[in-house]
Amino acid sequence: MADAHAHDATHEDHDHKPHGWRRWVFATNHKDIGTMYLIFACTMFFVGGAMAMIIRLELFKPGMQFVDPQLFNSMTTMHALVMIFGAVMPAWTGLANWMIPMQVGAPDMALPRLNNFSFWILPFAFTLLLSSLFVPGGAPAGGWTMYPPLVLQNGASFPMLIFAVHMMGASSILGAINVVVTIMNLRAPGMALLRMPLFVWTWLITAYLLIAVMPVLAGAVTMLLTDHFFGTTFFTAAGGGDPVMFQHIFWFFGHPEVYIMILPAFGIVSEIIPTFSRKPLFGYEAMVYAVASIAFLSFIVWAHHMFTVGMPLAAQLFFMLSTMLIAVPTGVKVFNWTATMWKGSLSFEPPMLFALAFLFLFTIGGFSGLMLGIVPADYQYQDTYFVVAHFHYVLVPGAIFGIMAGVYYWLPKWTGKLYDQRLATWHFWLSAVFVNVLFFPQHFLGLAGMPRRIPDYAVQFTDWNMVSSIGGFGFGLAQLLFPYIIWKCVRSGAPAPARAWEGAHGLEWELPSPAPYHSWTEAPSDALIAKGASH
């Protein structure tokens, strides 16, 4: 209670609810900023999705149909950048903004103005990046990995790409600092670390990863910039530099980045499965340690992305074995989720459906990752559609389904209204079927030798490409249901109770629905915190 009053005394600046455009432009309320992040992420999801549709349209049959190779390569590059930095990461930050203060009993994020700044960097970054489609030479086309020397051959879009990546990185770092500082300093008295919901834990660890690796990406692209404009030769062989060094630095960022996109989904699934199993989470502490272990291991596996560049046998063995090791904590999580459901009173509302699909399909992505981690096998799979299938199984039914599960879980809390569960169930089944039609055949294409990042292919790959494209169009169309369901919920949903799901635990469910503009202005009592803990 004392803490809550103290907070009021120090945050008079956002103690009232502003109206009109000022509410959003000058937003300091964590719920408003969370909403803006989520709307931005949803918009970028459809922009990146439109690019994916162009890719699948071109690949529907062999030969060049709709776009030239340069534009095709721009589409693959921009699709990745937009989906990773524009859709998935901002969606997680939006969910963090909405839920972390409510879940730890804090009145807001610790640094509200910084929070505003972190968000508003993003629209500028993506305007810059997307406007590169219209400059001479076209948008970046060398892949999202920005490998030199190819990336240095970009035209006018090169500095736009580098500046946009810097801005996205700065936004992520500032957002991560805010999350760490909020969790470490603004938890309600009695909210011990090992009482925190798993979503908060996974985000805390994600935030540490972000602080460690986003500056590494920024460093790498700064060096690209100086190589291009200031005559340095960090990555230029002609001047004594080493292009492979860029790959090492990039993947030192890139592999933890994969976990940045997936760990919060682990947290959400760990909230949803107990709720719809009506059982406490099995092995809460093991889950926390498993997430921490995965995060630690993510720093020592980066070179499995580049086995074929040539490296000593000892290094190959080290990175292969460390990659295999990640299966251990991941297995702990999968078995604990399964054990949570064991003999539970299960029901299959939309959040649970998405969480279960996550469990099955992310595991498929994990298994193909293990296959790719085996050095001699990787020499066969490298740069084929098998890799494309693998990481899309991790990121679409993994990260994207995790985000959708989270939105469907907390939407009644945010809006105070119930959504159309029948339509959301349709959204789930269409997504779950088409995501497999889209990506599963890509395993076959990869094993048969179809290279990735090409606009044309040999005729023997035609059939599975057609199937994959049909899956892509179906998946893309199914996603239009998502904003419609949310819009319908906001406009005409029936009122939601405070505890929208009968089996839900956690401080957020102790607040009324919709959550008040300023929640936990008085810190929750210890009894309430104990009641909210589902473990």
Partner 1 sequence: MAAALLSAESQARRRRVRNSAILWALVAGAFYLGFIVLSLVRAAQ
Site residues (vs partner 1, CB under 8 A):
2-3, 5-7, 9-10, 110-111, 114, 173, 176-178, 180-181, 184-186, 211-216, 218-220, 222-223, 233-234, 240-242, 245, 249, 252
Q: Is 270 one of the annotated active-site residues of the chain?
A: yes
CB of 520 to partner 1, least distance (A): 15
Q: 484, 440 in Cβ contact below 8 A?
A: no
CB of 507 to partner 1, least distance (A): 20
Say which residue the tokens 């299960």 belong to.
346
Q: Which of 7, 30, 279, 305 is catalytic?
A: 305
CB of 230 to partner 1, least distance (A): 13
Residues in the chain: 535
Q: Which of 61, 166, 452, 535 is catalytic?
A: 452
Q: Which of 330, 384, 468, 469 is catalytic?
A: 330
Nearer to partner 1, 3 or 466 (CB): 3
CB of 301 to partner 1, least distance (A): 18
Q: Is 502 one of the annotated active-site residues of the chain?
A: no
Nearer to partner 1, 220 or 355 (CB): 220
Q: 263, 295 in Cβ contact below 8 A?
A: yes
Contacts 24+ apart (CB under 8 A), 9-16: 11/107, 11/108, 11/112, 14/108, 14/112, 15/518
Joined together, the tokens standing for residue 12 give 């008079």
Q: Is 56 one of the annotated active-site residues of the chain?
A: no
Q: Is 491 one of the annotated active-site residues of the chain?
A: no
Nearer to partner 1, 234 or 408 (CB): 234
CA 10 to chain centre: 33
Q: Is 171 one of the annotated active-site residues of the chain?
A: yes
Q: Is 14 one of the annotated active-site residues of the chain?
A: no
CA distances from 13 to 8, 252, 402, 419 (A): 9, 40, 35, 34
Q: 319, 313 in Cβ contact below 8 A?
A: no
Separation CA 440–CA 443 (nearest Å):
6
CB of 124 to partner 1, least distance (A): 20
CB of 220 to partner 1, least distance (A): 7
First to last CA, the chain: 25
Say which residue the tokens 């996109």 belong to.
261
Among residues 426, 439, 499, which one has the least CA distance to residue 468?
A: 439
Q: Which of 56, 187, 195, 333 is catalytic?
A: 333
Q: Is 166 one of the annotated active-site residues of the chain?
A: no
Q: Is 419 one of the annotated active-site residues of the chain?
A: no
Q: Is 305 one of the annotated active-site residues of the chain?
A: yes
CA distances from 239 to 229, 294, 316, 372, 419 (A): 14, 38, 28, 34, 60
Nearer to partner 1, 2 or 527 (CB): 2
CB of 184 to partner 1, least distance (A): 6
Q: What residues does 417 pair with on adjacent strands?
A: 495
Say which residue the tokens 């295999």 belong to.
324
Separation CA 503–CA 534 (nearest Å):
10
Q: Is 317 exposed, middle or buried (0-12, 13-18, 19+ CB in 10 A)?
A: exposed
CA distances from 434 to 79, 144, 359, 473, 475 (A): 19, 25, 17, 8, 5
Nearer to partner 1, 5 or 422 (CB): 5
CB of 89 to partner 1, least distance (A): 16
Q: Is 30 one of the annotated active-site residues of the chain?
A: no
Q: What residues does 451 pair with on adjacent strands?
A: 384
CB of 347 to partner 1, least distance (A): 41
CA 94 to chain centre: 11
Nearer to partner 1, 185 or 492 (CB): 185
Q: Which of 255, 279, 499, 518 is catalytic?
A: 255
CB of 231 to partner 1, least distance (A): 13
Nearer to partner 1, 142 or 241 (CB): 241
Q: Is 43 one of the annotated active-site residues of the chain?
A: no
Q: Is 257 one of the annotated active-site residues of the chain?
A: yes
CB neighbour list of residue 13: distance below 8 Å, 6 or more residues apart: 28
Q: Is 347 one of the annotated active-site residues of the chain?
A: no
Separation CA 241–CA 252 (nearest Å):
19
Among residues 150, 170, 156, 3, which one has the least CA distance to residue 77?
A: 150
Q: Is 285 one of the annotated active-site residues of the chain?
A: no
Nearer to partner 1, 4 or 334 (CB): 4
CA distances from 10 to 7, 15, 147 (A): 5, 10, 47
Q: Which of 171, 277, 340, 513 is catalytic?
A: 171
Q: Which of 14, 56, 304, 505 is catalytic?
A: 304
Q: 113, 93 in Cβ contact below 8 A?
A: no
Q: Read off the DSSP letter of residue 399.
A: I
Active-site residues, by number, are 79, 108, 144, 171-172, 255, 257, 259, 270, 304-305, 330, 333, 452
